[in-house]
Structure 1
Amino acid sequence: MIVTLLIAAAAAGWVDAVVGGGGLLLLPALLLAAPQLPLATALGTNKLAAIFGTSTAAVTYARRTKIDWTVAGPAAALAVLCAGCGAALAGAVPAAAYRPVVLVVLVAVAVFVTIRPQMGLMELPERRTPWRRGLAVAVAGGVIAAYDGLIGPGTGTFLVLAFTTLIGADFVHGSAMAKIVNTATNFGALTVFAYHGHVAWLLGLAMAVCNIGGAIVGARMALRRGSGFVRVILLVVVLALIIKLGWDQYRLSA
Protein backbone atom coordinates (compact mmCIF):
# COMPACT_ATOMS: atom_id res chain seq x y z
CA MET A 1 0.00 0.00 0.00
CA ILE A 2 2.73 2.46 1.00
CA VAL A 3 4.84 1.79 -2.11
CA THR A 4 1.80 2.23 -4.37
CA LEU A 5 0.90 5.53 -2.75
CA LEU A 6 4.47 6.87 -2.88
CA ILE A 7 4.72 6.08 -6.60
CA ALA A 8 1.32 7.65 -7.21
CA ALA A 9 2.40 10.75 -5.25
CA ALA A 10 5.53 11.19 -7.39
CA ALA A 11 3.56 10.74 -10.62
CA ALA A 12 0.88 13.16 -9.38
CA GLY A 13 3.54 15.76 -8.56
CA TRP A 14 4.90 15.53 -12.11
CA VAL A 15 1.48 15.83 -13.75
CA ASP A 16 0.45 18.67 -11.45
CA ALA A 17 3.61 20.63 -12.19
CA VAL A 18 3.26 20.30 -15.95
CA VAL A 19 -0.44 20.94 -16.42
CA GLY A 20 -2.42 20.07 -13.27
CA GLY A 21 -4.69 17.11 -12.65
CA GLY A 22 -2.45 15.20 -10.25
CA GLY A 23 -5.46 14.50 -8.08
CA LEU A 24 -6.68 12.22 -10.86
CA LEU A 25 -3.86 9.87 -9.85
CA LEU A 26 -3.43 10.48 -6.14
CA LEU A 27 -7.01 10.59 -4.86
CA PRO A 28 -8.12 7.31 -6.52
CA ALA A 29 -4.86 5.71 -5.33
CA LEU A 30 -5.68 6.76 -1.76
CA LEU A 31 -9.22 5.44 -1.99
CA LEU A 32 -8.08 2.11 -3.43
CA ALA A 33 -4.95 1.51 -1.35
CA ALA A 34 -6.39 2.78 1.92
CA PRO A 35 -10.12 1.93 1.79
CA GLN A 36 -10.36 2.29 5.56
CA LEU A 37 -9.98 6.07 5.24
CA PRO A 38 -13.23 8.06 5.19
CA LEU A 39 -13.69 10.17 2.04
CA ALA A 40 -13.07 13.43 3.93
CA THR A 41 -9.81 12.05 5.36
CA ALA A 42 -8.69 10.88 1.92
CA LEU A 43 -9.40 14.36 0.56
CA GLY A 44 -7.52 16.02 3.42
CA THR A 45 -4.52 13.70 3.11
CA ASN A 46 -4.46 14.32 -0.64
CA LYS A 47 -4.34 18.08 0.02
CA LEU A 48 -1.48 17.66 2.48
CA ALA A 49 0.64 15.84 -0.08
CA ALA A 50 -0.40 18.09 -2.94
CA ILE A 51 0.37 21.41 -1.27
CA PHE A 52 4.05 20.51 -1.01
CA GLY A 53 4.23 19.63 -4.69
CA THR A 54 2.28 22.64 -5.97
CA SER A 55 4.25 25.08 -3.82
CA THR A 56 7.54 23.55 -4.98
CA ALA A 57 6.44 23.82 -8.61
CA ALA A 58 5.26 27.40 -8.01
CA VAL A 59 8.68 28.42 -6.67
CA THR A 60 10.42 26.69 -9.59
CA TYR A 61 8.27 28.53 -12.13
CA ALA A 62 8.60 31.87 -10.31
CA ARG A 63 12.39 31.66 -10.41
CA ARG A 64 12.55 30.89 -14.13
CA THR A 65 9.62 32.66 -15.78
CA LYS A 66 7.59 35.86 -15.48
CA ILE A 67 4.32 35.60 -13.55
CA ASP A 68 1.49 38.11 -13.94
CA TRP A 69 0.97 38.86 -10.24
CA THR A 70 -1.84 41.33 -10.97
CA VAL A 71 -3.96 38.24 -11.77
CA ALA A 72 -2.26 35.43 -9.86
CA GLY A 73 -2.02 37.39 -6.58
CA PRO A 74 -5.71 38.37 -6.17
CA ALA A 75 -6.84 34.99 -7.50
CA ALA A 76 -4.68 33.19 -4.92
CA ALA A 77 -6.00 35.36 -2.08
CA LEU A 78 -9.61 34.69 -3.09
CA ALA A 79 -8.83 31.00 -3.61
CA VAL A 80 -7.86 30.43 0.03
CA LEU A 81 -11.33 31.52 1.16
CA CYS A 82 -13.33 29.80 -1.57
CA ALA A 83 -11.42 26.51 -1.34
CA GLY A 84 -11.97 26.55 2.42
CA CYS A 85 -15.71 27.00 1.89
CA GLY A 86 -15.71 24.16 -0.60
CA ALA A 87 -13.87 21.90 1.82
CA ALA A 88 -16.40 22.74 4.54
CA LEU A 89 -19.10 21.36 2.24
CA ALA A 90 -17.11 18.27 1.20
CA GLY A 91 -19.21 15.20 1.78
CA ALA A 92 -22.44 17.21 1.92
CA VAL A 93 -22.62 17.51 -1.88
CA PRO A 94 -22.69 14.09 -3.60
CA ALA A 95 -20.32 13.55 -6.51
CA ALA A 96 -23.30 12.63 -8.69
CA ALA A 97 -24.50 16.24 -8.48
CA TYR A 98 -21.52 17.76 -10.27
CA ARG A 99 -19.99 14.86 -12.24
CA PRO A 100 -22.18 15.26 -15.37
CA VAL A 101 -21.49 19.01 -15.50
CA VAL A 102 -17.73 18.55 -15.18
CA LEU A 103 -17.84 15.79 -17.80
CA VAL A 104 -19.57 18.06 -20.33
CA VAL A 105 -17.09 20.87 -19.63
CA LEU A 106 -14.13 18.52 -20.11
CA VAL A 107 -15.45 17.23 -23.43
CA ALA A 108 -15.90 20.83 -24.59
CA VAL A 109 -12.34 21.63 -23.45
CA ALA A 110 -10.90 18.63 -25.34
CA VAL A 111 -12.71 19.63 -28.54
CA PHE A 112 -11.73 23.29 -28.14
CA VAL A 113 -8.04 22.56 -27.60
CA THR A 114 -8.00 20.04 -30.48
CA ILE A 115 -9.61 22.31 -33.07
CA ARG A 116 -7.49 25.30 -32.04
CA PRO A 117 -3.93 23.92 -32.20
CA GLN A 118 -2.37 27.38 -31.84
CA MET A 119 -4.13 28.14 -28.53
CA GLY A 120 -1.70 28.52 -25.67
CA LEU A 121 1.41 28.31 -27.86
CA MET A 122 2.12 32.03 -27.57
CA GLU A 123 1.18 34.94 -25.31
CA LEU A 124 -1.71 37.20 -26.40
CA PRO A 125 -1.18 40.38 -24.34
CA GLU A 126 -4.04 42.19 -26.12
CA ARG A 127 -6.48 40.01 -24.17
CA ARG A 128 -5.34 41.36 -20.80
CA THR A 129 -8.01 44.01 -20.52
CA PRO A 130 -9.18 45.00 -17.02
CA TRP A 131 -12.49 43.13 -17.30
CA ARG A 132 -10.78 39.95 -18.55
CA ARG A 133 -8.32 40.12 -15.65
CA GLY A 134 -11.21 40.51 -13.22
CA LEU A 135 -13.06 37.60 -14.81
CA ALA A 136 -9.95 35.42 -14.60
CA VAL A 137 -9.59 36.24 -10.89
CA ALA A 138 -13.26 35.41 -10.25
CA VAL A 139 -13.22 32.15 -12.21
CA ALA A 140 -9.85 30.89 -10.95
CA GLY A 141 -10.00 32.16 -7.38
CA GLY A 142 -13.74 31.68 -6.93
CA VAL A 143 -15.42 28.95 -8.98
CA ILE A 144 -12.46 26.64 -9.59
CA ALA A 145 -11.12 27.08 -6.05
CA ALA A 146 -14.49 26.12 -4.56
CA TYR A 147 -14.53 23.01 -6.75
CA ASP A 148 -11.05 22.12 -5.54
CA GLY A 149 -12.19 22.29 -1.94
CA LEU A 150 -15.18 20.06 -2.68
CA ILE A 151 -13.34 17.23 -4.46
CA GLY A 152 -10.45 18.55 -6.57
CA PRO A 153 -9.29 16.28 -9.43
CA GLY A 154 -8.58 18.35 -12.52
CA THR A 155 -8.31 21.68 -10.67
CA GLY A 156 -4.87 22.53 -12.00
CA THR A 157 -5.98 21.74 -15.55
CA PHE A 158 -9.02 24.00 -15.22
CA LEU A 159 -6.78 26.78 -13.89
CA VAL A 160 -4.36 26.52 -16.81
CA LEU A 161 -7.24 26.67 -19.27
CA ALA A 162 -8.80 29.63 -17.46
CA PHE A 163 -5.62 31.69 -17.70
CA THR A 164 -4.99 30.61 -21.30
CA THR A 165 -8.45 31.39 -22.63
CA LEU A 166 -9.35 34.43 -20.53
CA ILE A 167 -6.14 36.47 -20.47
CA GLY A 168 -4.20 34.98 -23.38
CA ALA A 169 -1.38 33.33 -21.40
CA ASP A 170 0.60 30.65 -23.16
CA PHE A 171 0.57 27.19 -21.61
CA VAL A 172 3.87 27.62 -19.74
CA HIS A 173 2.92 30.95 -18.15
CA GLY A 174 -0.64 29.73 -17.58
CA SER A 175 0.72 26.70 -15.77
CA ALA A 176 3.00 28.93 -13.68
CA MET A 177 0.05 31.06 -12.52
CA ALA A 178 -2.04 27.94 -11.98
CA LYS A 179 0.55 26.62 -9.52
CA ILE A 180 0.33 29.83 -7.47
CA VAL A 181 -3.46 29.62 -7.24
CA ASN A 182 -3.46 25.85 -6.75
CA THR A 183 -1.12 26.23 -3.79
CA ALA A 184 -3.63 28.66 -2.29
CA THR A 185 -6.58 26.33 -2.91
CA ASN A 186 -4.71 23.46 -1.30
CA PHE A 187 -3.89 25.63 1.71
CA GLY A 188 -7.48 26.77 2.16
CA ALA A 189 -8.90 23.29 1.86
CA LEU A 190 -6.18 21.69 4.01
CA THR A 191 -6.81 24.19 6.82
CA VAL A 192 -10.48 23.16 7.00
CA PHE A 193 -9.77 19.42 6.73
CA ALA A 194 -7.08 19.66 9.42
CA TYR A 195 -9.38 21.63 11.74
CA HIS A 196 -11.94 18.82 11.53
CA GLY A 197 -9.29 16.11 12.00
CA HIS A 198 -9.57 14.77 8.46
CA VAL A 199 -5.85 14.36 7.70
CA ALA A 200 -3.66 11.25 8.02
CA TRP A 201 -0.50 13.21 8.80
CA LEU A 202 2.22 10.55 8.64
CA LEU A 203 0.90 9.08 5.41
CA GLY A 204 0.39 12.52 3.87
CA LEU A 205 3.88 13.74 4.76
CA ALA A 206 5.47 10.59 3.34
CA MET A 207 3.61 11.13 0.08
CA ALA A 208 4.57 14.81 0.15
CA VAL A 209 8.27 13.95 -0.16
CA CYS A 210 7.62 12.02 -3.38
CA ASN A 211 5.21 14.68 -4.61
CA ILE A 212 7.94 17.30 -4.26
CA GLY A 213 10.36 15.20 -6.32
CA GLY A 214 7.82 14.73 -9.09
CA ALA A 215 6.93 18.43 -9.05
CA ILE A 216 10.56 19.55 -9.46
CA VAL A 217 11.09 17.25 -12.44
CA GLY A 218 7.76 18.23 -14.02
CA ALA A 219 8.20 21.99 -13.69
CA ARG A 220 11.73 21.90 -15.10
CA MET A 221 10.61 19.70 -17.98
CA ALA A 222 7.71 22.03 -18.85
CA LEU A 223 10.01 25.07 -18.79
CA ARG A 224 12.62 23.30 -20.91
CA ARG A 225 10.28 21.80 -23.52
CA GLY A 226 7.84 24.69 -23.83
CA SER A 227 4.15 25.17 -24.53
CA GLY A 228 3.87 22.51 -27.23
CA PHE A 229 4.85 19.82 -24.74
CA VAL A 230 2.44 21.19 -22.12
CA ARG A 231 -0.38 21.19 -24.69
CA VAL A 232 0.12 17.47 -25.39
CA ILE A 233 0.13 16.61 -21.68
CA LEU A 234 -2.94 18.80 -21.21
CA LEU A 235 -4.89 16.82 -23.80
CA VAL A 236 -3.78 13.51 -22.29
CA VAL A 237 -4.88 14.58 -18.79
CA VAL A 238 -8.23 15.94 -20.04
CA LEU A 239 -8.96 12.73 -21.93
CA ALA A 240 -8.02 10.68 -18.86
CA LEU A 241 -10.40 12.77 -16.75
CA ILE A 242 -13.18 12.27 -19.32
CA ILE A 243 -12.67 8.51 -19.30
CA LYS A 244 -12.62 8.31 -15.51
CA LEU A 245 -15.65 10.52 -14.93
CA GLY A 246 -17.50 8.88 -17.81
CA TRP A 247 -16.86 5.44 -16.33
CA ASP A 248 -17.99 6.60 -12.89
CA GLN A 249 -21.18 8.02 -14.41
CA TYR A 250 -21.80 4.80 -16.35
CA ARG A 251 -21.41 2.67 -13.23
CA LEU A 252 -23.76 4.97 -11.35
CA SER A 253 -26.47 4.76 -13.97
CA ALA A 254 -26.02 1.05 -14.78
Structure 2
Amino acid sequence: MAHPPADPRGCATQDPAVPLSAAGGGSVLVLLPDGLTPSILAFVLVAALAAGWVDAVVGGGGLIQLPALLLVPGLAPVQALATNKLASVFGTTTSAVTYQRRVHPDLRTALPMAAVALAASFGGASVAALLPAPVFKPVIVVALVGIALFTAFRPSLGEVTALRHTGRRHSGTAAGIGAVIGFYDGVLGPGTGSFLVFALVSLLGYDFLHASAKAKIVNVATNLGALAFFVPHGSVVWGLGLLLAAANVLGGYLGSRTATRRGTGFIRVVFLVVVSALVVRLGWDVWTETLRPLAR
Protein backbone atom coordinates (compact mmCIF):
# COMPACT_ATOMS: atom_id res chain seq x y z
CA MET A 1 0.00 0.00 0.00
CA ALA A 2 1.00 3.59 -0.05
CA HIS A 3 3.81 4.38 2.34
CA PRO A 4 4.40 7.43 4.50
CA PRO A 5 6.70 10.09 3.16
CA ALA A 6 10.11 10.68 4.62
CA ASP A 7 10.92 14.08 6.11
CA PRO A 8 14.21 15.85 5.30
CA ARG A 9 15.86 14.07 8.23
CA GLY A 10 14.91 10.65 6.83
CA CYS A 11 12.18 9.95 9.39
CA ALA A 12 8.91 8.46 8.13
CA THR A 13 5.82 10.53 8.80
CA GLN A 14 2.10 9.97 8.96
CA ASP A 15 1.63 13.12 6.88
CA PRO A 16 4.08 15.71 5.58
CA ALA A 17 3.87 17.76 8.81
CA VAL A 18 3.80 15.14 11.60
CA PRO A 19 7.00 13.28 12.57
CA LEU A 20 6.82 9.54 13.07
CA SER A 21 7.86 9.86 16.70
CA ALA A 22 4.64 11.73 17.36
CA ALA A 23 2.73 8.71 16.05
CA GLY A 24 4.39 6.23 18.38
CA GLY A 25 7.42 5.64 16.17
CA GLY A 26 11.12 6.05 16.79
CA SER A 27 12.75 3.42 18.99
CA VAL A 28 9.58 2.53 20.92
CA LEU A 29 8.43 -1.10 20.52
CA VAL A 30 4.65 -0.97 20.26
CA LEU A 31 2.77 -4.26 20.75
CA LEU A 32 -0.91 -3.22 20.76
CA PRO A 33 -2.64 0.16 20.31
CA ASP A 34 -4.27 1.58 23.44
CA GLY A 35 -7.72 1.81 21.86
CA LEU A 36 -7.93 -1.84 20.78
CA THR A 37 -10.98 -3.65 22.23
CA PRO A 38 -11.98 -7.33 21.79
CA SER A 39 -14.76 -6.42 19.36
CA ILE A 40 -12.49 -4.23 17.23
CA LEU A 41 -9.82 -6.93 17.28
CA ALA A 42 -12.36 -9.50 16.07
CA PHE A 43 -13.39 -7.14 13.27
CA VAL A 44 -9.84 -6.55 12.01
CA LEU A 45 -9.03 -10.27 12.22
CA VAL A 46 -12.02 -11.11 10.01
CA ALA A 47 -10.90 -8.36 7.62
CA ALA A 48 -7.37 -9.81 7.59
CA LEU A 49 -8.73 -13.28 6.81
CA ALA A 50 -10.72 -11.91 3.86
CA ALA A 51 -7.75 -9.80 2.73
CA GLY A 52 -5.48 -12.85 2.76
CA TRP A 53 -7.95 -14.75 0.57
CA VAL A 54 -8.29 -11.92 -1.97
CA ASP A 55 -4.54 -11.31 -2.03
CA ALA A 56 -3.89 -14.98 -2.71
CA VAL A 57 -6.30 -15.17 -5.62
CA VAL A 58 -5.42 -12.01 -7.51
CA GLY A 59 -3.96 -9.34 -5.19
CA GLY A 60 -5.67 -6.27 -3.77
CA GLY A 61 -6.21 -7.52 -0.22
CA GLY A 62 -5.01 -4.20 1.11
CA LEU A 63 -8.34 -2.75 -0.03
CA ILE A 64 -9.87 -4.68 2.88
CA GLN A 65 -7.14 -4.86 5.50
CA LEU A 66 -5.79 -1.31 5.51
CA PRO A 67 -9.16 0.48 5.86
CA ALA A 68 -9.97 -1.89 8.74
CA LEU A 69 -6.71 -0.97 10.47
CA LEU A 70 -7.39 2.73 10.01
CA LEU A 71 -10.55 2.29 12.09
CA VAL A 72 -8.57 1.07 15.14
CA PRO A 73 -8.58 3.81 17.82
CA GLY A 74 -5.10 4.93 18.83
CA LEU A 75 -3.44 3.59 15.68
CA ALA A 76 -1.73 6.31 13.65
CA PRO A 77 -1.93 6.08 9.83
CA VAL A 78 1.78 5.32 9.52
CA GLN A 79 1.41 2.50 12.06
CA ALA A 80 -1.55 1.10 10.12
CA LEU A 81 0.50 1.11 6.92
CA ALA A 82 3.50 -0.57 8.52
CA THR A 83 1.43 -3.14 10.43
CA ASN A 84 -0.46 -3.97 7.24
CA LYS A 85 2.86 -4.72 5.53
CA LEU A 86 3.99 -7.00 8.36
CA ALA A 87 0.81 -9.08 8.14
CA SER A 88 0.93 -9.11 4.35
CA VAL A 89 4.45 -10.55 4.32
CA PHE A 90 3.18 -13.65 6.13
CA GLY A 91 0.04 -13.96 4.01
CA THR A 92 1.75 -13.57 0.64
CA THR A 93 4.54 -15.96 1.69
CA THR A 94 1.95 -18.62 2.55
CA SER A 95 0.22 -18.06 -0.78
CA ALA A 96 3.52 -18.22 -2.67
CA VAL A 97 4.49 -21.52 -1.01
CA THR A 98 1.06 -23.03 -1.68
CA TYR A 99 1.16 -21.98 -5.34
CA GLN A 100 4.69 -23.36 -5.64
CA ARG A 101 3.56 -26.76 -4.40
CA ARG A 102 0.43 -26.93 -6.56
CA VAL A 103 1.30 -24.97 -9.73
CA HIS A 104 5.14 -25.08 -9.83
CA PRO A 105 5.74 -21.63 -11.38
CA ASP A 106 9.04 -21.09 -13.18
CA LEU A 107 11.36 -19.63 -10.54
CA ARG A 108 13.89 -18.61 -13.19
CA THR A 109 11.52 -15.77 -14.03
CA ALA A 110 9.96 -15.12 -10.63
CA LEU A 111 13.04 -14.91 -8.39
CA PRO A 112 15.10 -12.36 -10.39
CA MET A 113 11.92 -10.34 -10.88
CA ALA A 114 11.34 -10.45 -7.11
CA ALA A 115 14.90 -9.32 -6.36
CA VAL A 116 14.50 -6.27 -8.60
CA ALA A 117 11.07 -5.53 -7.11
CA LEU A 118 12.41 -5.68 -3.53
CA ALA A 119 15.07 -3.05 -4.23
CA ALA A 120 12.61 -0.90 -6.18
CA SER A 121 10.00 -1.06 -3.39
CA PHE A 122 12.50 0.10 -0.78
CA GLY A 123 13.64 2.87 -3.10
CA GLY A 124 10.07 3.96 -3.76
CA ALA A 125 9.28 4.13 -0.05
CA SER A 126 12.45 6.13 0.55
CA VAL A 127 11.62 8.85 -1.97
CA ALA A 128 7.84 8.91 -1.50
CA ALA A 129 8.00 12.39 0.06
CA LEU A 130 9.52 13.81 -3.12
CA LEU A 131 6.75 12.55 -5.39
CA PRO A 132 3.24 14.10 -5.43
CA ALA A 133 0.95 11.10 -4.81
CA PRO A 134 -2.25 13.13 -5.46
CA VAL A 135 -0.97 13.77 -8.99
CA PHE A 136 -0.35 10.07 -9.61
CA LYS A 137 -3.74 8.84 -8.44
CA PRO A 138 -5.80 10.16 -11.40
CA VAL A 139 -3.30 8.51 -13.74
CA ILE A 140 -3.64 5.22 -11.84
CA VAL A 141 -7.45 5.41 -12.01
CA VAL A 142 -7.32 5.89 -15.79
CA ALA A 143 -4.86 2.99 -16.10
CA LEU A 144 -7.10 0.73 -14.00
CA VAL A 145 -10.16 1.57 -16.11
CA GLY A 146 -8.13 0.72 -19.21
CA ILE A 147 -6.99 -2.57 -17.67
CA ALA A 148 -10.55 -3.52 -16.72
CA LEU A 149 -11.91 -2.75 -20.20
CA PHE A 150 -8.99 -4.47 -21.93
CA THR A 151 -9.51 -7.62 -19.86
CA ALA A 152 -13.31 -7.61 -20.08
CA PHE A 153 -13.40 -7.24 -23.87
CA ARG A 154 -10.70 -9.85 -24.52
CA PRO A 155 -12.17 -13.09 -23.14
CA SER A 156 -9.21 -15.11 -24.40
CA LEU A 157 -6.69 -13.01 -22.46
CA GLY A 158 -4.89 -15.17 -19.92
CA GLU A 159 -6.75 -18.38 -20.76
CA VAL A 160 -3.58 -20.27 -21.66
CA THR A 161 0.12 -19.57 -21.35
CA ALA A 162 1.61 -18.40 -24.65
CA LEU A 163 4.88 -16.64 -23.86
CA ARG A 164 5.48 -13.53 -25.94
CA HIS A 165 9.26 -13.50 -25.51
CA THR A 166 12.11 -15.91 -24.78
CA GLY A 167 15.65 -15.66 -23.48
CA ARG A 168 17.07 -12.28 -22.56
CA ARG A 169 14.05 -10.38 -23.84
CA HIS A 170 11.77 -12.37 -21.53
CA SER A 171 14.12 -11.82 -18.57
CA GLY A 172 14.51 -8.13 -19.34
CA THR A 173 10.76 -7.60 -19.59
CA ALA A 174 10.22 -9.45 -16.30
CA ALA A 175 12.88 -7.34 -14.58
CA GLY A 176 11.30 -4.17 -15.96
CA ILE A 177 7.90 -5.20 -14.61
CA GLY A 178 9.46 -5.90 -11.21
CA ALA A 179 11.20 -2.51 -11.15
CA VAL A 180 8.18 -0.44 -12.18
CA ILE A 181 5.59 -2.18 -10.00
CA GLY A 182 7.98 -2.54 -7.06
CA PHE A 183 8.64 1.19 -7.16
CA TYR A 184 4.90 1.86 -7.43
CA ASP A 185 4.31 -0.28 -4.34
CA GLY A 186 6.87 1.80 -2.45
CA VAL A 187 5.45 5.15 -3.53
CA LEU A 188 1.69 4.53 -3.59
CA GLY A 189 0.78 0.86 -3.42
CA PRO A 190 -2.94 0.09 -3.92
CA GLY A 191 -3.48 -2.88 -6.23
CA THR A 192 0.16 -3.91 -6.56
CA GLY A 193 -0.74 -7.60 -6.79
CA SER A 194 -3.39 -6.93 -9.44
CA PHE A 195 -0.97 -4.85 -11.52
CA LEU A 196 1.56 -7.68 -11.30
CA VAL A 197 -0.97 -10.24 -12.49
CA PHE A 198 -2.07 -8.07 -15.41
CA ALA A 199 1.53 -7.34 -16.47
CA LEU A 200 2.47 -11.02 -16.36
CA VAL A 201 -0.59 -11.92 -18.44
CA SER A 202 -0.50 -9.10 -20.99
CA LEU A 203 3.23 -8.45 -21.38
CA LEU A 204 4.75 -11.89 -20.83
CA GLY A 205 1.88 -14.14 -21.94
CA TYR A 206 1.14 -16.23 -18.84
CA ASP A 207 -2.33 -17.51 -18.06
CA PHE A 208 -4.05 -16.03 -15.01
CA LEU A 209 -3.24 -19.00 -12.76
CA HIS A 210 0.51 -19.00 -13.43
CA ALA A 211 0.58 -15.20 -13.39
CA SER A 212 -0.99 -15.20 -9.92
CA ALA A 213 1.53 -17.79 -8.74
CA LYS A 214 4.47 -15.66 -9.89
CA ALA A 215 2.87 -12.45 -8.65
CA LYS A 216 2.75 -13.85 -5.11
CA ILE A 217 6.52 -14.41 -5.11
CA VAL A 218 7.16 -10.87 -6.34
CA ASN A 219 4.61 -9.44 -3.90
CA VAL A 220 6.48 -11.05 -0.99
CA ALA A 221 9.54 -9.11 -2.13
CA THR A 222 7.74 -5.77 -2.45
CA ASN A 223 6.24 -6.22 1.02
CA LEU A 224 9.67 -7.02 2.48
CA GLY A 225 11.19 -3.99 0.77
CA ALA A 226 8.58 -1.68 2.27
CA LEU A 227 8.85 -3.35 5.68
CA ALA A 228 12.61 -2.83 5.65
CA PHE A 229 11.87 0.88 5.40
CA PHE A 230 9.29 0.87 8.22
CA VAL A 231 11.00 -1.29 10.87
CA PRO A 232 14.00 0.98 11.64
CA HIS A 233 11.55 3.82 12.36
CA GLY A 234 9.63 1.76 14.94
CA SER A 235 6.32 2.17 13.14
CA VAL A 236 5.23 -1.49 13.22
CA VAL A 237 2.70 -2.45 15.93
CA TRP A 238 4.12 -5.93 16.39
CA GLY A 239 1.51 -7.61 18.56
CA LEU A 240 -1.38 -6.55 16.36
CA GLY A 241 0.61 -7.25 13.21
CA LEU A 242 1.38 -10.82 14.22
CA LEU A 243 -2.26 -11.48 15.11
CA LEU A 244 -3.27 -10.17 11.69
CA ALA A 245 -0.50 -12.25 10.14
CA ALA A 246 -2.07 -15.43 11.52
CA ALA A 247 -5.39 -14.50 9.89
CA ASN A 248 -3.59 -13.54 6.66
CA VAL A 249 -1.83 -16.90 6.62
CA LEU A 250 -5.12 -18.79 6.88
CA GLY A 251 -6.76 -16.57 4.25
CA GLY A 252 -3.75 -16.89 1.95
CA TYR A 253 -3.73 -20.67 2.25
CA LEU A 254 -7.46 -20.95 1.54
CA GLY A 255 -7.32 -18.42 -1.31
CA SER A 256 -4.41 -20.06 -3.11
CA ARG A 257 -6.04 -23.48 -2.82
CA THR A 258 -9.30 -22.06 -4.17
CA ALA A 259 -7.48 -20.41 -7.09
CA THR A 260 -5.55 -23.55 -8.03
CA ARG A 261 -8.70 -25.67 -7.79
CA ARG A 262 -11.01 -23.29 -9.70
CA GLY A 263 -8.46 -22.23 -12.30
CA THR A 264 -7.92 -19.38 -14.72
CA GLY A 265 -11.57 -18.48 -15.41
CA PHE A 266 -12.30 -17.99 -11.72
CA ILE A 267 -9.18 -15.85 -11.21
CA ARG A 268 -10.14 -13.70 -14.19
CA VAL A 269 -13.56 -12.93 -12.66
CA VAL A 270 -12.06 -12.08 -9.26
CA PHE A 271 -9.44 -9.95 -11.01
CA LEU A 272 -12.13 -7.84 -12.70
CA VAL A 273 -14.01 -7.43 -9.40
CA VAL A 274 -10.86 -6.31 -7.55
CA VAL A 275 -9.81 -3.90 -10.31
CA SER A 276 -13.30 -2.38 -10.29
CA ALA A 277 -13.06 -1.96 -6.51
CA LEU A 278 -9.68 -0.27 -6.95
CA VAL A 279 -11.19 2.16 -9.45
CA VAL A 280 -13.90 3.08 -6.94
CA ARG A 281 -11.45 3.40 -4.05
CA LEU A 282 -8.87 5.51 -5.87
CA GLY A 283 -11.56 7.47 -7.69
CA TRP A 284 -12.96 8.47 -4.30
CA ASP A 285 -9.47 9.54 -3.21
CA VAL A 286 -9.12 11.69 -6.33
CA TRP A 287 -12.50 13.30 -5.64
CA THR A 288 -11.84 14.05 -1.96
CA GLU A 289 -8.18 15.08 -2.31
CA THR A 290 -8.18 16.93 -5.64
CA LEU A 291 -11.52 17.58 -7.32
CA ARG A 292 -13.76 18.50 -4.38
CA PRO A 293 -11.35 21.19 -3.04
CA LEU A 294 -11.20 22.70 -6.55
CA ALA A 295 -15.01 22.77 -6.75
CA ARG A 296 -15.33 24.85 -3.58
Q: After TM superposition, is the score higher than 0.5?
A: yes
Q: Which residue of 2 aligns with 1:207?
A: 244
1:105 correspondence with 2:140: no
> Can you give the 5+ residue segments of structure 1 that lack an aligned partner in the other structure?
none
Q: Which residue of 2 aligns with 1:148?
A: 185
The AA in structure 2 aligned to 1:209 is A
Q: Deviations over 1:181-236 (max 9, x none)?
A: 00011111111100111111111111000011100010000000000000000000
- Give the RMSD, CA atoms, in angstroms: 1.5
User: Structure 2-normalised TM-score?
Assistant: 0.81
CA contact (8 A) 2:96 2:213 kept: yes
Q: Which residue of 2 aligns with 1:24?
A: 63
**Mapping 1:1-254, distance limit 5 Å:** 1-31=40-70, 33-34=71-72, 36-90=74-128, 93-128=131-166, 130-139=168-177, 141-252=178-289, 253-254=291-292
Give the % identical residues: 51
Give, in angstroms, the shift of residue 67 of structure 1.
1.2
Q: How many residues align?
A: 252
Q: Which residue of 1 aligns with 2:6?
A: none
Give, in angstroms, the shift of residue 70 of structure 1.
2.2
Deviates more, 1:152-161 or 1:119-128: 119-128
User: Structure 1-normalised TM-score?
Assistant: 0.94
Deviates more, 1:191-200 or 1:213-222: 191-200
Deviates more, 1:176-185 or 1:97-106: 97-106
Where 1:67 maps in the other structure, the secondary structure is coil
CA distance in 1 between partners of 2:44 and 2:166 (Å): 41
CA contact (8 A) 1:44 1:193 kept: yes
Given the superposition, is the C-alpha separation of residues 52 and 189 from structure 1 closer, same or farther in structure 2, using an over 3 Å criterion?
Answer: same
Structure richer in helix, relative to its length: 1
CA distance in 1 between partners of 2:221 and 2:198 (Å): 17
Name the larger-Rg structure: 2
Where 1:119 maps in the other structure, the secondary structure is coil
CA distance in 2 between partners of 1:108 and 1:210 (Å): 33
Q: Deviations over 1:30-63 (max 9, x none)?
A: 12x1254333222111100000000000000001
Given the superposition, is the C-alpha separation of residues 126 and 89 from structure 1 closer, same or farther in structure 2, using an over 3 Å criterion?
Answer: closer
Q: Which residue of 1 aligns with 2:20?
A: none
CA distance in 1 between partners of 2:241 and 2:132 (Å): 24
Given the superposition, is the C-alpha separation of residues 236 and 128 from structure 1 closer, same or farther in structure 2, using an over 3 Å criterion?
Answer: farther
Q: Deviations over 1:5-48 (max 9, x none)?
A: 111111110000000011111112212x1254333222111100
Give, in angstroms, the shift of residue 242 of structure 1.
0.4
Q: Deviations over 1:144-202 (max 9, x none)?
A: 11111223220000011111111110000000000000001111111110011111111
CA distance in 2 between partners of 1:78 and 1:144 (Å): 10
> Can you give the 5+ residue segments of structure 2 that lack an aligned partner in the other structure?
1-39
CA contact (8 A) 2:164 2:203 kept: no
CA distance in 1 between partners of 2:278 and 2:186 (Å): 18
CA distance in 2 between partners of 1:90 and 1:28 (Å): 20
The AA in structure 1 aligned to 2:143 is V
The AA in structure 1 aligned to 2:76 is P
